[in-house]
Amino acid sequence: MADQKLDETATGVYAITPTPFTDAGAVDLDSTDRMVEFYIECGVSGLTILGVMGEAHKLTQEESVAFTKRVLAVVDGRIPVIAGVSSPALGPMAALTEQAMEFGAAGVMVAPMSGLNTDEKIEGYFHAVCNALGDTPVVLQDYPPSSGVWFSVPLLNKLFAELPALKMLKHEDWPGLKKITQFRAAEARGERRRVSILTGNGGLFLPLELARGADGAMTGFAFPDMLVQVCELHAAGDVGRAQDLFDAYLPLVRYEQQIGIGLAIRKETLRRRGVLASPTIRAPGPKLDADDNAELEDLLQRLERRLNELGEIFPM
Amino acid sequence: MADQKLDETATGVYAITPTPFTDAGAVDLDSTDRMVEFYIECGVSGLTILGVMGEAHKLTQEESVAFTKRVLAVVDGRIPVIAGVSSPALGPMAALTEQAMEFGAAGVMVAPMSGLNTDEKIEGYFHAVCNALGDTPVVLQDYPPSSGVWFSVPLLNKLFAELPALKMLKHEDWPGLKKITQFRAAEARGERRRVSILTGNGGLFLPLELARGADGAMTGFAFPDMLVQVCELHAAGDVGRAQDLFDAYLPLVRYEQQIGIGLAIRKETLRRRGVLASPTIRAPGPKLDADDNAELEDLLQRLERRLNELGEIFPM
Amino acid sequence: MADQKLDETATGVYAITPTPFTDAGAVDLDSTDRMVEFYIECGVSGLTILGVMGEAHKLTQEESVAFTKRVLAVVDGRIPVIAGVSSPALGPMAALTEQAMEFGAAGVMVAPMSGLNTDEKIEGYFHAVCNALGDTPVVLQDYPPSSGVWFSVPLLNKLFAELPALKMLKHEDWPGLKKITQFRAAEARGERRRVSILTGNGGLFLPLELARGADGAMTGFAFPDMLVQVCELHAAGDVGRAQDLFDAYLPLVRYEQQIGIGLAIRKETLRRRGVLASPTIRAPGPKLDADDNAELEDLLQRLERRLNELGEIFPM
Amino acid sequence: MADQKLDETATGVYAITPTPFTDAGAVDLDSTDRMVEFYIECGVSGLTILGVMGEAHKLTQEESVAFTKRVLAVVDGRIPVIAGVSSPALGPMAALTEQAMEFGAAGVMVAPMSGLNTDEKIEGYFHAVCNALGDTPVVLQDYPPSSGVWFSVPLLNKLFAELPALKMLKHEDWPGLKKITQFRAAEARGERRRVSILTGNGGLFLPLELARGADGAMTGFAFPDMLVQVCELHAAGDVGRAQDLFDAYLPLVRYEQQIGIGLAIRKETLRRRGVLASPTIRAPGPKLDADDNAELEDLLQRLERRLNELGEIFPM
């Protein structure tokens, strides 16, 4: 897949990466290198950088560029990398996109700017975006709790039919199971080409989403290896085993669902796994205290025990 | 127009009435009688009761029913009365509607329930509403700052084309001038029947809205007589005079635009005009203090002077 | 506890009950009777009626009164019942409260009205509420995702110190684990009396919340028997077993976390358990389709298997 | 006032400047030069750059820096310049601040990041901001409709008492007249030092705000000359004349109050006044159409006539 562009056939797990910082808050390029290797070893199909969970909005432009360049250099074409380029203005979005693609990105992800409160405005916006980005492959992020923008299935069908640059739906509307079913139904009826659906929300509904027709996950849960395994088991038809494995991790998946502090939990877990040198979130941001750390420790020990019962390996 | 139903030809000013309370907070039926006569003397084309400004959500069902009954008895068929029946459930909405229509209402007004964040959901909702209300004439209230629900012009066109029970658009999207132009353009193109547009927002843009194609105003500004005069001057082609008169009141129109306390200002002005016995808003709600009263007094005196300059009568 | 008032010592599970409807949408009093007995057999410590999940906003006042009366008659003093009385106006709230207390309620629950966006406004509001409700015991509902009103711990401390009528915090801020710890710390420092904390959010974090100092749960998860068992195991010091049991149900707890359709899932589950005659939600509202039902069926079967592994009984 | 820092004594009009673009959307430095001279000729006391109305969020960092540098070079110490530096992260905010101050800014303006929904969080945030910015003079922007963050008067008093770097309150809460009165009352009671209050909201309530204790305006209305004159008349005690002049412009002030398109109206007006070469707003953004332009033209002609009646000069 080296140096290829993202297309509608994408499947599996695209890990949303955090941006590693040192304890002092500087971008940590050593941890970045280690993190890329970690994700590849976990078996992910791709990476997504500079999303909300990557604290993209807390980076200077120079830092974003440097981080993007480093990630793509380390990946070196082994897996596709998608860069988040959401921006309130199309000019800067196009500039960011151009640079990411030059460094070797496979595509970009765009969440709608805030204030798009009718189908008409959303449609106008994505036409303008695709016009500004040329033939760059685009992932449409459907994440209302963060964007405040809501997509109906008829609107998504229209957008994907009209805009060939849209290759993938990053689906994290909530609740969203029926949405996947309805979106796939339009394809089954031949109304438009089949596109890729990867799901987010920290993976909270992953087995159910796969059963509904998702192609995989794009999320940042601190055990991407589990997400990969669940997708593979599901693809192999071993749906029950996929669910058993997932359920073992569910207490932790749920624990990461705490808005704000969830990212701190995720970064601390990645620190414990030897990936990040520091769990730092840029100020202003939350930090884990002793109670939180004890709770996380306990959940990890319970996970280990449960995996042992299942005959699975605890990957820490 | 006695005992007639609302239809698409409605024009002029439909005053949104407050609900009068005594100082102690009880519904004040004596003031209600006086208020109805006041509005009719002002020359309004109709009344709208139990809107947000009527503190409908602060009334018990018994009080709503008693107030509706009294207003319709006093009006006695002289002008059409529209009853606000917005409700989170269709059953109670239908029950309220049935009762209001029995008392002699000309139609009902429905604002969409909260949470309708896509065109598809809004469309489904208004189909369900019209289905539940039978052939009752319905005013669709388009007031996003209050409802959190946004209508595009294409969606409004669709709704008015599909649902014959919809007779009037109460337009108070903001900004909304172009919306009126675009909505009227669909009619000019013959895409659907012409319907009535009355505008809200306290009248802040009334002369411009009339020029854009509105048929009048549906709002609660404490000088409905001015709104009537502006609509009449406009209809008679004296656009400049309409604007001069409006601009004289604009400082006061603007003063009423203060969310929350605006209703207290309106009720106090109606008290000063001899309409209401008390300016009371039901708790919890704002009250004017000495500073506010002095400010209002000063704005009224300035209005009087300005009307004198224009050779107009100060209606207090 | 017959006929006693709610006080600060409340512990265990207060089930938030749905309001049963027939297929046609009428309030179903037969199912109401059965439901009350079901909850008592599950071992709950109390009931909470007419919350958001009880579709209180979709009932007419007559229906609310009739339902409250019936529930309290069937309970007949066996356990305390709390009535939701949230309302945008204090007068109607006081009237509702008076009636519920006359029927035998142990206290009322109040969520703040919308628009209280500063500490000062919230404080003023709860003083006004407690003033209007006299010495009725009040549960303060802290549920920002629904109310849009946010309480800091210092503000909660102030409110509970100033207002003796506040007996219980219904805690469902999210994330909220640290909030429980901080709230309890103020009591440990002797800053105010100890009050009851019951947690909501469908029970998603219950074992962690108990460890942080919560006294139990007030939520509507369709297996209140599990919530009771978890609270009892925790109280008995068997924290690990409490968590094992909880984790078995977690896939289902998570499945109910789908806003909107979550209530439909809950009602359908209660129908399958023989409690409700119909899973109907009042229009406009969601319904489960064949996919949803198959998903639910599968999750219930998986739950049964897992409970068997744990040597626990599947309560269906 | 050359090269001085902002302090608590600031009065008069600080014009919020747009960022000029060419028709093609590039930053227009020629118009920037002209714009600076225009504002100084209008008699403003200061400038504020890179606010929301300056489309700061649509500029790349390079563009922001280049624009800041150019404005400060042209101003050359004649009046104080405040730079907007609001940012979701403290590090980049401090870097932006440092650069602006090096170029000669008198201070910076900070709107709270979104999500600060309790007094406690807001207080923590501004302490962190002031800690990060050292002794740079800071304007606290209180603009809830844009930030979603609400300040009570007790909280503002606390912040200004605790943080000496806060020199000015940019007040645009709405409604906000009583807030000014209450904020000034705390100073009269000696609870903290007197600070500067400049008001925003396009100037819609300016004469009333001055009467309540504001020291002037910080807003972007396209006739800053009027704002200056109103402030001067008010300071000279000619309150009635100040209001007469203001009321003449009020139809236009109101016309600019249209969210979104308001900025297009403002830029077009500045183009007509010979200040900007192009009214361009960066995509995605609104454009005036023929109807809008005719409306604006008519409002300007009416303004000219009204000013003539008042014996005032029409400044175009």
d(CA A274, CA A278) in angstroms, rounded, equals 10
Asked whether the beta carbons of residue D177 and residue B243 sit closer than 8 angstroms, the reply is: no
CA angle centred on B32, ends C60 and B30, rounded to 5°: 115
pLDDT at B2 over 60: no
pLDDT given for residue A52 in this prediction = 85
Is C283 within 8 Å of B89 when comparing Cβ atoms?
yes
Q: CB of A113 within 8 Å of any CB in chain D?
A: yes
Using the Cβ of C120 and the Cβ atoms of chain D, whether some distance falls under 8 Å is answered with yes
**C-alpha angle D247/D253/D259, rounded to 5°?**
155
Residues of chain B contacting residue C88, judged by C-beta atoms under 8 Å apart: 57-58
Give the SS3 label for residue A199: strand
Specify which residues B21 forms β-bridges with: B27
Residue of D nearest to C121 (CA): D152
CA C261 to CA C283: how far, in whole Å? 13
Q: Is A311 on the interface with C (CB under 8 A)?
A: no
* Rg, chain B, Cα only: 19
Contact residues, chain C, for B95 at CB < 8 Å: 60
Residues of A in Cβ contact (< 8 Å) with C292: 177-178
Closest CA to C8 of C197, C218, C215, C196: C196
Distance from CA of C92 to the nearest CA of B (A): 6
Please report, to the nearest 10 degrees, the dihedral formed by the alpha carbons of residues B302, B304, B309, B312 taken in order: 150
Probe site for chain C from B19, B58, B99, B122 (most C CB atoms < 10 A): B58
Is A91 in contact with D58 (Cβ distance < 8 A)? yes
Distance, in Å, from the CA atom of B186 to the CA atom of D50, rounded to the nearest integer, reads 40
Low-confidence ranges of chain A (pLDDT < 70): 1-3
Strands B196-199 and B46-49, by their bridges, are unpaired
* Subunit contact D211:B295, Cβ cutoff 8 A: yes
Instruction: List the single residue in C with minimal CA-CA distance to D119.
Output: C119
A120/B154 Cβ within 8 A: yes
* Contact yes or no for C177 and A205 at CB 8 A: no
Q: What is the pLDDT of residue D225?
A: 98
Answer whether B291's CB lies under 8 Å from B266's CB: no
D10 DSSP assignment: -
State the smallest CA–CA distance between residue A282 and chain D in angstroms: 7
pLDDT for D84 beyond 50: yes
Give the residue on C whose Cα is nearest the Cα of A257.
C175
What ipTM describes this predicted complex? 0.97
Between CA C82 and CA C80 the distance in angstroms is 7
- Cβ-contact B143, D226 below 8 angstroms: no
| Cα dist from C230 to A78, A249, A258, C166, D239, whole Å | 48, 20, 22, 26, 70
By C-alpha distance, which of A38, A36, A35, A46 is closest to A12? A46
Q: How far is D170 from chain C (nearest CA, A)?
A: 18
Three-state DSSP state, B168: strand
Query: Whose CA is closest to D198, among D74, D109, D87?
Result: D109
| Chain D residues with beta carbon closer than 8 angstroms to that of B254 | 204-205, 250, 254
What tens digit of pLDDT does each residue of B43-86 get?
Answer: 999 999 999 889 999 999 899 999 999 999 999 999 999 999 99
Check A150 against B119: CB less than 8 A apart: no
Residue A13 near residue A209, CB atoms below 8 Å: no
Minimum distance, in Å, between the CA of residue D129 and any CA atom of chain C = 20
| Residue A314, number of CB atoms within 10 A of its CB | 14
Residue carrying structure tokens 């930030």: D147
Tell me, what's the pLDDT at A1?
41
Picking from C208, C257, C258, the nearest residue to A295 by CB comes out as C208
**Confidence band, pLDDT 50/70/90 cuts, at residue C2:** very low
Q: Helical H runs in chain B?
A: 29-42, 61-75, 90-103, 119-133, 144-147, 153-162, 177-188, 206-212, 224-235, 239-256, 261-272, 290-309
Residues D179 and D196: their CA atoms lie apart, in Å, by: 14
Between D175, D212, D302, which is nearest B259 by CB? D175
C-alpha closest to that of C67 among C48, C92, C39, C89 = C48
The answer, yes or no, to whether residue D2 has pLDDT greater than 80, is no
B13 in helix, strand or coil? strand
The verdict on a CB contact (< 8 Å) between B254 and D251 is no
Question: How far is the C-alpha of A309 from the C-alpha of A135, rounded, in Å?
Answer: 49
Q: Is the pTM of this model over 0.95?
A: yes
CB contact under 8 A, B121 and A155: no
Average pLDDT over residues B98-126: 97
Q: What is the DSSP letter of B288?
A: -
Q: Which residues of D touch B295 (CB under 8 A)?
A: 177, 208, 211
DSSP letter for each residue of D30-43: HHHHHHHHHHHHHT
Summarize pLDDT for B140-198 with one digit per residue, the tens.
Answer: 999 999 999 999 999 999 999 999 999 999 999 999 999 999 999 999 999 999 999 99
Q: Report the residue of chain D nearest C148, measured CA to CA.
A: D117
Give which of A21, A85, A86, A90 to mutate to test D binding, by max D Cβ within 10 Å: A90
pLDDT band at residue B3 using 50, 70 and 90 as cut-offs: low
**Residue C240 clears pLDDT 60, i.e. is over it:** yes
Which pair of tokens denotes residue A58? Answer: 């807390």
Distance from CA of C158 to the nearest CA of D (A): 13
Return the closest-CA partner of residue B26 out of B71, B58, B74.
B58
* Burial degree of A181 (CB within 10 A; 0-12, 13-18, 19+): middle
Cβ contact A220:A266 at 8 Å: yes
Give the angle subtended at the CA of B106 by the CAs of B101 and B109, to the nearest 5°: 85
Dihedral-angle region of residue A112 (phi above 0 means left; psi in -120 to 50 means alpha; beta otherwise): beta
Closest Cβ–Cβ partner in D254, D261, D295 for B204: D254
Inter-chain residue contact A258 with C291, CB threshold 8 Å: no
Q: What is the pLDDT, as a whole number, of residue C3?
A: 61
- Average pLDDT (B249-263) is 96
Q: Given phi > 0 = left and psi -120 to 50 = alpha, else beta, which region is A95?
A: alpha
Confidence of residue D218 (pLDDT cuts 50, 70, 90): very high
The answer to whether the CB of B85 falls within 8 A of the CB of B97 is: yes
Interface list for B 173-192 with D (CB within 8 A): 174-175, 177-178, 181
Which range, of B33-42, B47-56, D28-37, D231-240, averages the lowest pLDDT?
B47-56
Helix and strand totals (H; E) in chain A: 12, 8
C contact chains, 3+ CB pairs < 8 A: A, B, D
Rounded CA separation C2/C80 (Å): 7
Nearest residue, CB atoms, A250 vs list C205, C250, C261: C250
Return the half-sphere exposure (C-beta side, CA atoms, 13 A cut-off) of residue B225.
12
User: What are the pLDDT digits (tens) for B13-29?
Assistant: 999 999 999 999 999 99
Residue A246: how many CA atoms within 13 Å on its side-chain side?
27
pLDDT value at residue C277? 98
Contact predicate B246/B312, CB 8 Å: no
- How close A224 gets to chain B, by Cα (Å)? 33
Q: How would DSSP label each residue in A53-101?
A: GGTGGGS-HHHHHHHHHHHHHHHTTSS-EEEE---SSHHHHHHHHHHHH
Q: What is the pLDDT of residue C236?
A: 98
Q: Which of residues 150-169 of D touch A (CB under 8 A)?
A: none
Reading the block at residue C210, the tokens are: 């108990």
Contact B169/B142 with Cβ under 8 angstroms?
Answer: yes
Which residues of chain D neighbour B212 with C-beta distances below 8 Å?
A: 291
Q: What SS3 state is found at C286?
A: coil
**CB pair distance less than 8 Å for D175 and B258:** yes
* pLDDT at B1 > cutoff 60: no
pLDDT value at residue D52: 85
* Contacts of residue B26, Cβ cutoff 8 Å, sequence gap at least 6: none
Q: What's the gap in Å between the CA of C111 and the closest CA on chain B? A: 14
**Cβ separation of D284 and A62 shorter than 8 Å?**
no
CA distance D209 to D203: 9
